[in-house]
């Protein structure tokens, strides 16, 4: 229950930042469009089943779409991210052992290097699909490639300070009964 409320508040916060901060401030350059809201999906607990993850991804994307007036655009990109998330975690997470009992992906639970790879891969998937859909209706191919690289880079540049500034207090499950 506490977990659900925590994640709902987190979603509200990310939507607010995305809609009223990142989309409102004038962009540095037309290729660089920062985006952060998908960090909500990256931070979801390990325990969610892949199928439920897809539904959560769809809903998160649609909430953003409702605010940014682009129905389906972010939802579609979130679905790709949610499809790949379990695979990426499967590859990067330490092999199952008794020590591993963290709730959700974080630099502490996955360790820094695998966590950065995790962030990088899924951000890339998300932005590639997002920019691809925009490019379908408009733009040139070189713009498309540059925009993917630039947007991914700026998003990761934003995510790393957030991870450093707000270390999530992850009491592992074994300590819960203290």
Partner 1 sequence: MRNVILFIGRYLTFFTFLFLQIVSLWFLFSFNKFHQALFLQSANEITGGINKEYKKLENFFLQGEENRRLHLMNDSLLNLLSHQITLPDTTRQLVTDTLVIDSSRQYRRYYFRPASVVYNSTNSEKNYIQLDRGSIHGIAENMAVLNADGSAVGIVVQVSPRFSQVMSLLHVRQKINVALQLTGDFGTLEWDGKDPGLLLLKGLPKSVLVKLGDPVVVSRYSFNFPPDYPVGTVAEIINDKGTNFYLLKVKPAARFNRLQHVSVVENLQYAEQATLDREARKKIDDTKRSGQ
Residues at the contact surface with partner 1, assessed by CB under 8 A? 20, 23-24, 26-27, 30, 33, 50-51, 54-55, 57-58, 61-62, 65-73, 75-76, 79-80, 82-83, 133-134, 137-139
C-alpha–C-alpha distance, residues 43 and 102, integer Å: 12
Least distance (Å) from partner 1 to the CB of residue 90?
13
Residue labelled with tokens 């790949």? 84
- Residue closer to partner 1 by CB (options 96, 136) is 136
Residues near 119 by beta carbon (within 8 Å), at least 6 away in sequence: 42, 156, 159
Contact yes or no for 53/82 (Cβ under 8 A): yes
Least distance (Å) from partner 1 to the CB of residue 83?
5
- Residue closer to partner 1 by CB (options 82, 114) is 82
Least distance (Å) from partner 1 to the CB of residue 53?
9
- Residue closer to partner 1 by CB (options 103, 147) is 147
C-alpha–C-alpha distance, residues 82 and 51, integer Å: 9
CA distances from 49 to 33, 92, 136 (A): 31, 17, 32
Least distance (Å) from partner 1 to the CB of residue 10?
17
Contact yes or no for 56/38 (Cβ under 8 A): no
- Residue closer to partner 1 by CB (options 32, 116) is 32
């Amino acid at each position: 229950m506490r977990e659900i409320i925590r994640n709902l508040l987190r979603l509200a916060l990310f939507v607010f930042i995305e809609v009223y901060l990142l989309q409102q401030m004038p962009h540095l350059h037309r290729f660089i469009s920062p985006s952060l809201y998908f960090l909500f999906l990256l931070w979801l607990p390990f325990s969610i089943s892949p199928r439920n993850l897809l539904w959560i991804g769809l809903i998160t994307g649609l909430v953003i779409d409702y605010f940014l007036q682009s129905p389906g655009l972010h939802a579609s990109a979130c679905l790709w991210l949610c499809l790949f998330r379990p695979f990426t975690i499967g590859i990067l997470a330490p092999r199952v052992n008794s020590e591993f009992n963290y709730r959700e992906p974080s630099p502490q639970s996955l360790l820094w290097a695998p966590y950065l790879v995790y962030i990088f891969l899924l951000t890339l998937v998300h932005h590639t699909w997002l920019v691809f859909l925009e490019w379908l209706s408009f733009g040139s191919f070189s713009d498309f490639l540059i925009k993917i690289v630039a947007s991914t880079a700026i998003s990761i540049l934003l995510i790393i300070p957030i991870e450093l500034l707000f270390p999530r207090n992850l009491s592992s499950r074994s300590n819960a009964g203290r």
